[in-house]
Amino acid sequence: MKVIMEDIISLSKRRGFVFQTSEIYGGLAGFYDYGPLGVELVNNLKSAWWDAMVKEKTNIYGIDGAIIQNPLLWKASGHIDGFSDPMVEDVVTHKRYRADHLAGIDSNDLVELERLLKNVKSPDGNKLSQPRYFNMMMQTWIGPVTDDAAKAYLRPETAGAIYTNFLNVKESMRAKLPFGIAQIGKAFRNEISPRDFIFRVRELEQMEMQYFIDPKIEEDVYEEWRQFAWNFLIDKVGIQKDNLSWHEHEENERAHYAKAAHDIYFNFPQGPKELWGTHDRTDFDLSNHTRVSGKDLSYIDEVSKTKFIPYVIESSVGVGRLLLAVLCDSYTKETVNNDERIVLKIKPSLAPYKVAVSPLLKNKPELVELAEKIFKDLKARFGMVMWDDNGNIGKRYRRQDEIGTPFCVTIDFNSLEDDSVTIRDRDTTLQQRINSSKLISYIEEKLAI
Residues that bind ligand GAP (CB under 6 A): 157, 159, 189, 191, 200-201, 204, 206, 208, 274-277, 314, 316-318, 320-321
Q: Which is nearer to ligand GAP, 192 or 343 (CB)?
A: 192
Residue 104, classed as helix, strand or coil, is coil
| Minimum CB–partner distance for residue 204 and ligand GAP (Å) | 4
- In angstroms, the Cα distances linking 55 to 26, 46, 48, 230, 349 are 42, 12, 10, 19, 17
| Minimum CB–partner distance for residue 82 and ligand GAP (Å) | 12
Measured CA to CA, the distance from residue 355 to residue 359 in angstroms comes to 13
Query: Rounded to 5 degrees, what angle do the CA atoms 287, 291, 293 make?
Result: 110
Q: Which is nearer to ligand GAP, 324 or 409 (CB)?
A: 324
| Minimum CB–partner distance for residue 39 and ligand GAP (Å) | 17
The residue number whose beta carbon is nearest to ligand GAP equals 318
| Minimum CB–partner distance for residue 268 and ligand GAP (Å) | 11
Q: Which is nearer to ligand GAP, 170 or 321 (CB)?
A: 321
| Minimum CB–partner distance for residue 216 and ligand GAP (Å) | 24
| Minimum CB–partner distance for residue 270 and ligand GAP (Å) | 13
Q: Which is nearer to ligand GAP, 60 or 317 (CB)?
A: 317
Measured CA to CA, the distance from residue 226 to residue 209 in angstroms comes to 12
- Its sign, for the CA torsion 96, 97, 98, 102, is negative
Q: Which is nearer to ligand GAP, 208 or 401 (CB)?
A: 208
* DSSP symbols for 370-397: HHHHHHHHHHHHHS-EEE--SS-HHHHH
Backbone angles phi, psi at 335, to 5 degrees: -110, 125
| Minimum CB–partner distance for residue 265 and ligand GAP (Å) | 10
Q: Which is nearer to ligand GAP, 200 or 424 (CB)?
A: 200
Q: Which is nearer to ligand GAP, 89 or 280 (CB)?
A: 280
Measured CA to CA, the distance from residue 48 to residue 236 in angstroms comes to 7
Measured CA to CA, the distance from residue 253 to residue 279 in angstroms comes to 12
Element (H or E) spanning 181, and its range?
strand 179-188
Question: CB 254: neighbour CB atoms within 10 A?
Answer: 16
